Amino acid sequence: MKVQLFVENAIRTNSWVVIDEETDDAIIIDCGGGYEKILDFLNTQNANLKYILCTHGHFDHIVGIVEMQKNNINVPVYINKNDEFLAYQLNDMLGILGIAGPYPKINIDNFVDETSELKIGNKNIQIFQTPGHTPGGLCFKIENLLFSGDSLFHREIGRCDLPGGNFHSLINSLKSKILTVPEQTVVYPGHGSVTSIKEEKLFNPYLK
């Protein structure tokens, strides 16, 4: 499995490209901007982009998707139903931050949760619902790789003071679900550096 990082907006959001090297199937997990560079990279890898997964609906994780759709590049987009309202508030959030717009309304193709069946190539994608940073927060696990969005960072957790956030829900989500996966699992977060489940168990002060 090949993983490539793109960081293309002012908030330093991590956009992850995952390629199954056996089939050349690819997915994007969050797309915070710079979609042209991502598509160019996929072309150099001769990869077949299947869909985009959203860990949650905050603007800095979806604005690249809206830019793609604005330019008539349509790739299936999956998000949790409980974050639909956040995805549709994109222009409101950009306006508060003084970022130029407006952007068209994002097109969402499918709502996913823990019962959804997704694959990349022949490999299953395990979905964890991890509300707390947002009501519809998701984490995606592919083999020993976990894409945690803004639920879990390197020795940190996502903020819970934004609309729909809940600290106790996030802590419960992480302890009851994410920390149960094997310790050697590598964690690819929505911001910042890569970590592991083992490191977070040992050093994350919120997960003691």
Distance CA(176)–CA(183), nearest Å, equals 14
pTM of the model: 0.94
pLDDT band at 180 (very low <50, low <70, confident <90, very high): very high
- One-letter identity of residue 26: A
Provide the percentage of residues in the chain whose pLDDT is more than 70: 95
Architecture of domain 2-207: 4-Layer Sandwich (3.60)
The pLDDT score that the predictor gives to residue 95 is 59
pLDDT at 159 over 60: yes
State the pLDDT confidence band at 94, using cuts at 50, 70 and 90: low
Q: What is the four-CA torsion angle of 23, 29, 32, 37, rounded to 10 degrees?
A: -10
Task: Dump pLDDT digits (tens) for 107-127.
Answer: 999 999 999 999 999 999 999
Give the pLDDT of residue 96.
55
Domain parsing of the chain, residue ranges: 2-207
Preceding amide of 102 cis, omega within 30: yes
- The pLDDT tens digits for 181-200 are 999 999 999 999 999 999 99
